[in-house]
Amino acid sequence: MVEKDAGLSEFRRINIVQGEQHVDSDPDIVLTTLLGSCVAACLWDPEAGIGGMNHFLLPGVETEARDTSLGASKRYGVYAMELLVNDLLRHGAQRRRLQAKLFGGACMVQGLTDVGELNASFAEQFLRTEGIALAGGSLRGSCGRRIQFWPTSGRARQSLLKSGQNAIFNGERNVALPKPLGNAGIVELF
C-alpha cells in the first residue's frame, strides 16, 4: 500500500505488515511498519542503492512445522529473512555489502513466553550466520515502535509508542497510527 504521509510529504510511504516484505531502489520511497514483539529487518546495499524491509511474527524453527501453508510461513523469521535477502540479491545487491538494522522484539505481555526476545535473538543470530553486518537498530524493551526506513540510504527513524498505545497491536490493519508528541521518543539512525 503506497500513501502520502503529512510528515513525510516528499516521500511515498509503503507500509509493511506482518508477513510482508518489500525491496526498492526508489529514493522517494520510505518503508514503514508498526512493531510490538514482531521484528522488522531493514537491509540495504549502500553501493547499489537498494534496500528492503520485512516484518515477521515468530522466529519459525519449531513453530513452522505446525502450519505449512505458504501464507503462514511468511510470518516466520526463517522464511522472511531468506525472502528479503534473496529479493535484494535478485535486484542487484551483493551479499558482502549488505548491512542491517533490526527493530522490535519488545516484551508486550509480562508473564507469558517472551516472543519478542525469541524474535530478537533469532534475527541477531541469522545476521551472524549469514555474515551480514549489523549497523544498528533497536531491539527488546517493553514499548511498541513505529519504524520508517529509507531503503536506498539505510536511514531509519524510530518512534516509541506510549504503553497506552499498544492496543494498536490487536491485529487491526486499518487503525490510524498515533502521532508522536513533538520529537519525544524519536531516534534517527543514519
Q: What is the pLDDT of residue 165?
A: 46
Q: What is the pLDDT of residue 2?
A: 44
What is the grid cell recorded at 150? 529509507
Q: Domain containing 76: what range? A: 2-189
Torsion sign across C-alpha atoms 87, 93, 97, 102: negative
Q: What is the pLDDT of residue 74?
A: 62
Which SS3 state, helix, strand or coil, does residue 140 take? coil
Q: What is the pLDDT of residue 63?
A: 46
Number of domains in the chain: 1
Distance CA 34, CA 16 (A): 8
Distance CA 168, CA 14 (A): 18
Distance CA 73, CA 163 (A): 30
Those residues with Cβ within 8 angstroms of residue 181's Cβ, 6 or more apart along the chain or in another chain = none
Q: What is the pLDDT of residue 61?
A: 58
Q: Which helix (H) or strand (E) holds 63?
A: none
Q: What is the pLDDT of residue 8?
A: 56
Residue 109 exposure: Cα atoms within 13 Å on the Cβ side: 7
Q: What is the pLDDT of residue 56?
A: 95
Q: What is the pLDDT of residue 173?
A: 37
- The pLDDT mean for the chain works out to 83
Buried b (16+ CB within 10 A) or exposed e, 57-72: bbbbeebbeeeeeeeb
pTM, rounded to two decimals: 0.78
Q: What is the pLDDT of residue 182?
A: 54
pLDDT tens-digit profile of 36-56? 999 999 999 999 999 999 999
Give pLDDT < 70 ranges for the chain. Answer: 1-9, 61-74, 163-190
For residue 74, what is the domain's CATH number?
3.30.1330.200
